[in-house]
Amino acid sequence: MTCPRKLRGALRHPGSACASLVRVALLAMTMGSCAKPTDPTVAPRTYRMGFSHFSPRLTIPEVIATLDKWQSRGDAGILHITPPWRSLLADTTASFLIHREHLQIAERYRSDGFALVVMIDATEGLDRSSKAAELVALGRSISEPGIQAVYREFALAVDSILRPDCLGLAMETNLVRAIAPPALYASLRTVANDAAAALVAARTSARLFASVQVETAWGKLPATGRYVGIAQDRAEFPFAEALGLSSYPNLTTVAVPEDLPIDYYSRLVPDGSVPMMVVEGGWSSASGANPSSPALQARYIHRQMELADRAKLVGIFQLTFTDLDVASYGPSGSQLVPFASLGLVGTDLADKPALAEWDRAFARPLLASTAFVARR
């Protein structure tokens, strides 16, 4: 999720590791369009579906194998990007970095006819109470006007080069507000809104959004014992024309997927006035702090689609299609343990029961009248 010990945070430097491997790998690949299965006899879905490019281990063959295995099971792709602060502050241009690290991944998705969602993470993915680790190491902060200017420039470059359908500018805003120092939340609010204003002035065609943590909204993370909602987030990030959802319920007190109320997503925006999409989440197939199993994970995917249908989501993304070999990630691997078994396939790419539930949902035809949330 993006609570402490968040997978995305540990992988927040794809430019130096995974994305670099993908960049090399894609040069060797023939990019073709795959037929997407449909079955007109079943109820249609309103949401596009997809994953990110993360693989079990940071090797070129495994990145290729991961992308190859899930591309026929999706019609959208997602990129989670943390600004490479050290390089940006060392006078490497945002344009150069984005072309080098992310453009070919985006082009891979586009070549398959996928919609593209990009999220830019301004805070620390491993710990939403902290500033980005690279900024901390450099003795800098997003509270500085100069750093905020770099963020704006980076967001503009992401938009102009990658041309996403949806562009996220602030991640898990309610969780940041709940556990971070007030000054950090205020800085996130400022930098996201200023970047949004710059993008609008530049006539972006992307639908701009922010994401919220669903368990935080329901009073489960941190545990408040009551539904909190997201009214403050919508008021303080008014640029958001879509809403991203982050949800990892089995890392809280939710014992079984069926305990999730049917309005688990829809209650956040009961009037349906803003389109919503799950941009990260999952249910571990392995027991950790809480008991789990492959069967429970499969039941979660089934329940998630029921929640998505009720909320009429426009997208469901799971960051990890595969499990992660935490030992291969070096010192950061230990922080990945709670998230290492979220994949729908194992580290050997062998199917788990949850994959069949995903495939069953993906086989449903996408409503012809359903447009993704970009302005194009």
Per-residue pLDDT of the chain (376 residues), as tens digits, is 444 334 444 444 444 444 444 444 444 343 333 444 445 568 999 999 999 999 999 888 998 899 999 999 999 999 999 999 999 999 999 999 999 999 998 999 999 999 999 999 999 876 788 888 899 999 999 999 999 999 999 999 999 999 999 999 999 999 999 999 999 999 999 999 999 999 999 999 999 999 999 999 999 999 998 999 999 999 999 999 999 999 999 999 999 999 999 999 999 999 999 999 999 999 999 998 899 999 999 999 999 999 999 999 999 999 999 999 999 988 777 778 889 999 999 999 999 999 999 999 999 999 976 667 756 5
Q: What pLDDT shows up at residue 2? A: 41
Type of residue found at 271? D
Type of residue found at 340? A
CA 373 – CA 177 distance, rounded (Å):
26
If you search the block for the tokens 């995903």, which residue do you land on? 358
Query: Of 243, 241, 212, 85, nearest to 151 (Cα)?
Result: 85
Q: Judge whether 168 and 373 are in contact, CB under 8 Å.
A: no
CA 281 – CA 83 distance, rounded (Å):
22
Query: Of 264, 261, 298, 267, nearest to 283 (Cα)?
Result: 298
Check the CA dihedral 234-159-81-113 and report its sign: positive
Question: Could you give the 3-state DSSP secondary structure of residue 158?
Answer: helix
Q: What pLDDT shows up at residue 3? A: 40
If you search the block for the tokens 């997407």, which residue do you land on? 36
Query: Of 157, 150, 105, 111, nearest to 132 (Cα)?
Result: 150
Type of residue found at 108? R
Q: What pLDDT shows up at residue 35? A: 40
Q: Judge whether 119 and 279 are in contact, CB under 8 Å.
A: yes
Phi, psi dihedral angles at 134 (to 5 degrees): -65, -40
Query: Would the pTM of this model clear 0.85, i.e. be above it?
Result: yes
Domain boundaries, the chain: 7-31+38-362
Q: What pLDDT shows up at residue 129? A: 82
Element (H, E) at 280: strand 276-281
CA distances from 256 to 251, 305, 342 (A): 11, 15, 15
CA 134 – CA 368 distance, rounded (Å):
44
Q: What pLDDT shows up at residue 60? A: 81
User: Could you tell me whether strands 48-51 and 207-213 are parallel, antiparallel, or unpaired per DSSP bridges?
Assistant: unpaired
CA 175 – CA 250 distance, rounded (Å):
17
Give a three-class secondary structure readout of 289-353: CCCCCHHHHHHHHHHHHHHHHHHCCCEEEECCCECCCHHHHHHHHHHHHHHCCCCCECCCCCECH
Topology, domain 7-31+38-362: TIM Barrel (3.20.20)
